[in-house]
Amino acid sequence: MRLYLYLLIMAGVTYLIRMLPLAFFRKKIESPFVLSVLHYLPYAVLGTMTVPAVFTSAGSVLSSVVGFAVALVLGLRKRSLIEVALFAAAGAYVTSLILPLF
Amino acid sequence: MQSYGYKEGLLDGLPIGLGYLSVSFGFAIWAINQGLPGFILVLMSGSNLTSAGQVAGVTVMAAGGLFMELALTEAIINLRYALMSVTLTQKLSPTFSLWQRMLAAFFVTDEIFAVSSTRKGLLTFPYMMGLGCLPWIGWTLGTALGAFAGSLLPAAVCAALGIAIYGMFTSLIVPAAMEEKGVLLAVAAAIGLGLILRYVPVFSFLSEGFVIIISAVGGACVAAWLIPAPKEAQA
């Protein structure tokens, strides 16, 4: 039951945030500070969710570090979302195969 | 002015849908490992259609967090959609009725926004419906496959796929951080704050959801204060 309430809250909040501005917004936000905060916020959220969680995301810390390094390098080369995601996983997977050999 | 219909939308949505399929597969495997049942995840993907919000949501749910905490976390993380929605209002064809706007709003994601906002001309309702279709199917189907067929994969493959969602986040952060010092500062400050809040014992009463909210808002404020965003980005 609790899980369904969680779902309802998540879906409700997420939808309202998308819908209210699209359906009803009529004017512009003027404050440069507020606009800057809103511009930076998504990246700040992604950053704090990625580090440190990414380091335990692929089983062992070492394979996670390798996977993350692959993601960073491909990100620097501006590769597509899907390439970065899959090659990060591939890097982690290969590392987990090689690791026991040492 | 040129406008586009359902078919053009569907085609534009195909690469997004394929991308979502594999990322949500990884998301589901990760979320199952956090202890959530598969059908809940499928319902979540079908009703939310968002990556960062769902990762944060699963984190709060797995920790048995407060309802208020979950609502606040989702509001902060998904705030960017409000901005995208505002931006899209400037491009909607005048034929859009209120209920059509309300329906199209469900499909506002980073990638769908990027594609639709860079399309030349006005956006029609059929185009937006076509554009949202395959990404929604890909995201929901990928979640179902990951949740129910993920166990058919070898354990090592499943473990490795847990990093896929963070790979996706990285691919969103890194190019923007290279282009704008402000983004780099916001990300660094948020990560720094997050590490303090997570590992300094005084703050151990803070749950993961609140850590995300406080560190992200703090990091964004620091960057906004020191390096105001470029004018063209303030839209």
Tell me, letter by letter, the H, E, C secondary structure of B120-150.
Answer: CCEECHHHHHHHHHHHHHHHHHHHHHHHHHH
Let me know whether B119 and B195 are in one domain.
Answer: no
Report how far apart, in Å, the C-alpha atoms of B207 and of each of A15, B40, B56, B93 are. 24, 22, 12, 44
The pLDDT, as a whole number, for residue B233 is 63
Which chain A residues are within 8 Å of B225, Cβ to Cβ? 33
- Number of inter-chain CB pairs under 8 A, A vs B: 299
Query: Shortest Cα distance from B7 to chain A (angstroms)?
Result: 23
Nearest CA in chain A to B67: A6
Is residue B114 exposed (0-12), middle (13-18) or buried (19+ Cβ within 10 Å)? exposed
Let me know whether B23 and B137 are in one domain.
Answer: yes
Give the one of A17, A23, A49 whose C-beta lies nearest to B55's C-beta. A49
Q: Which two tokens stand for residue B88?
A: 């899209």
Q: With respect to residue B172, please indicate whether it lies within any of the assigned structural domains.
A: no
Read off the pLDDT of residues B154-168 as tens digits, 9 standing for 90 and up: 888 888 888 887 888
Let me know whether B106 and B210 are in one domain.
Answer: no
The yes-or-no verdict on residue B2 having pLDDT over 70 is no
Mean pLDDT of B24-41: 94
Angle, helices A32-50/B208-226, rounded to nearest 10 degrees: 140
- Parent domain of A67: 2-101
At B49, the pLDDT band (50, 70, 90 cuts) reads: very high
Q: With respect to residue B79, please indicate whether it lies within any of the assigned structural domains.
A: yes
- Dist CA A67 CA B151 (whole Å): 21
Closest CA to B186 of B95, B80, B92, B113: B80
- With a cut of 0.95, is the ipTM above it? no
Give the one of A48, A68, A93 whose C-beta lies nearest to B191's C-beta. A48
Closest CA to B100 of B84, B123, B134: B123
Number of domains chain A is built from: 1
Number of domains chain B is built from: 2
Q: With respect to residue B173, please indicate whether it lies within any of the assigned structural domains.
A: no
Q: With respect to residue B166, please indicate whether it lies within any of the assigned structural domains.
A: no
Q: What share of chain B is helix, strand, coil (3-state, %, to 5)?
A: 80, 0, 20
Let me know whether B18 and B99 are in one domain.
Answer: yes
- Dist CA A72 CA B145 (whole Å): 27
Q: With respect to residue B116, please indicate whether it lies within any of the assigned structural domains.
A: yes
Across chain A, what does the average pLDDT equal? Answer: 90
Let me know whether B42 and B153 are in one domain.
Answer: yes
Nearest CA in chain A to B34: A57
- Parent domain of B113: 6-161
Closest CA to B124 of B36, B219, B8: B8
Residue A48 near residue B219 (C-beta atoms within 8 A)? yes
Mean pLDDT of B190-208: 93
Let me know whether B130 and B184 are in one domain.
Answer: no
Closest CA to A64 of B33, B190, B187, B159: B159
Find which of B108, B170, B179 to mutate to test the A interface (most A CBs within 10 Å of its CB).
B170
Let me know whether B184 and B145 are in one domain.
Answer: no
At B1, the pLDDT band (50, 70, 90 cuts) reads: very low
Let me know whether B92 and B13 are in one domain.
Answer: yes
Query: Shortest Cα distance from A34 to chain B (angstroms)?
Result: 8
- B7 by DSSP, 3-state: which? helix
Let me know whether B87 and B199 are in one domain.
Answer: no
**How many other C-beta atoms are found inside a 10 Å radius of the C-beta of residue B210?**
18
